């Protein structure tokens, strides 16, 4: 069984059929796991999608979440939103004992701001980081929304009329009561909508922002593929509250890491990198 957090294990186990030069981008940690923190205040950051959200809380059941308005500037609003939430919860941001962050795939700007902020909080407080792949977050939300058992097909809008495709497969131990927290990811990479649609197995569960791509093949998917379980629009956007839950589950499994080891996963290479080939 692979890494149950949904992160790809070290080495060459990350499988792609496209974009092979980006295999390393899905390896999010390079150091040994850190000890689980004592139960205490935590923060969660989700800026791999737009508009994004943040959450703070204290185990077992105190959770406060703030969703950014459309068009928000994460660079200016992220820390103030966290400070406001933590103060409302009765503790300062400096008392954070765990920071969980969605690491993508996602577009460059928002994802970079979120991961950088998470690392800054971790460095300043000395707490560990739970790095949560966005595909894992969306798969967990699909399960919570009633998706059928089995893999979840997650698609992101990669621009240029293409999708970024990830398959999230359940990876929990037999009888696990928190099965929605255990995932193994298989990355296909960039695909055209038609190729992705035709590759879907019968009865598959599908979710993700890519379903909103303005392409007739996707808008007509409920009619052309009635066998599919398709997540409702509200469930196709990852939330900070889900990132928080997955982060706490990672802490229970002692799968937390130093800030320096956490890397974002971008939907595409930069323009300069693409020109280099």
Reported as a single tens digit per residue, the pLDDT across 127-178 is: 999 999 999 999 999 999 999 989 999 999 999 999 999 999 998 777 666 6
Strand order in the sheet with 162-170: 183-191, 162-170, 152-159, 205-207, 229-230
What's the distance, Cα to Cα, between the start and end of the chain in Å?
34
Residue 269 predicted with pLDDT over 80 = no
The first and second tokens of residue 205, run together, are: 């569960």
Whether residue 206 is predicted with pLDDT greater than 50 in this model: the reply is yes
CATH assignment, 135-236: 3.30.420.40
The domain spans of the chain are 23-134+237-276, 135-236
Tokens 């139960």 -> residue: 39
In this prediction the pTM is: 0.85
Query: Which pLDDT does position 165 carry in this prediction?
Result: 97
Domain 135-236 in the same topology as domain 23-134+237-276: yes
Phi, psi of 36 (to 5 degrees): -65, 135
Helices (H), the chain: 74-89, 108-125, 134-144, 193-199, 216-219, 221-224, 240-252, 271-276
pLDDT of residue 176: 63
> 266: which 2 tokens?
């971008």
Query: Tell me, what's the pLDDT at 208?
Result: 97
Q: Please give the torsion angle defined by the CA atoms of residues 101, 102, 104 and 107, in that order, rounded to the nearest 10 degrees.
A: -80
The residue whose two tokens read 């890519």 is 210
> Average pLDDT for residues 94-101, to the nearest whole number?
97
CATH of domain 23-134+237-276: 3.30.420.40
Name the pairing type of β-strands 42-46 and 98-102.
Answer: parallel
Q: Counting beta carbons within 10 angstroms of the beta carbon of residue 234, is it exposed (0 to 12), middle (13 to 18) or buried (19 or more)?
A: exposed
State yes or no: pLDDT of 231 exceeds 50. yes
What are the start-end ranges of the E strands in the chain? 42-46, 53-58, 62-67, 98-102, 129-132, 152-159, 162-170, 183-191, 205-207, 229-230
* Band (93; pLDDT cuts 50, 70, 90): very high
């Amino acid at each position: 069984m692979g890494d149950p957090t949904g992160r790809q294990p070290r080495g060459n186990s990350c499988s792609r059929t496209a974009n092979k030069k980006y295999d390393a981008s899905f390896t999010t940690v390079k150091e040994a796991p850190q000890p689980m923190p004592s139960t205490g205040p935590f923060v969660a950051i989700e800026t791999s999608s737009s508009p994004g959200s943040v959450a703070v809380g204290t185990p077992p059941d105190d959770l406060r979440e703030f969703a950014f308005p459309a068009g928000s500037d994460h660079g200016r609003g992220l820390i103030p939103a966290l400070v406001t939430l933590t103060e409302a919860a009765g503790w300062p941001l400096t008392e954070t004992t765990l920071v969980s962050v969605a690491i993508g795939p996602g577009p460059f700007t928002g994802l970079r701001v979120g991961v950088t902020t998470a690392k800054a909080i971790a460095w300043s407080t000395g707490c560990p980081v739970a790095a949560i792949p966005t595909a894992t977050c969306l798969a967990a939300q699909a399960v919570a929304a009633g998706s059928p058992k089995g893999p979840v097909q997650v698609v992101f809008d990669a621009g240029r009329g293409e999708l970024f495709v990830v398959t999230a497969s359940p990876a929990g131990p037999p009888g696990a009561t928190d099965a929605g927290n255990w995932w193994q990811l298989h990355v296909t990479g960039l695909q055209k909508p038609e190729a992705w649609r035709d590759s879907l197995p019968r009865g598959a569960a599908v979710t993700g922002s890519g379903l909103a791509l303005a392409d007739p093949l996707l808008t007509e998917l409920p009619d052309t593929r009635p066998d599919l379980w398709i997540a409702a629009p509200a469930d196709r956007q990852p939330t900070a509250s889900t990132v928080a839950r997955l982060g706490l589950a990672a802490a229970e499994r002692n799968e937390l890491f130093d800030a320096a080891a956490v890397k974002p996963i971008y939907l595409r290479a930069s323009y300069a990198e693409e020109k280099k080939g």
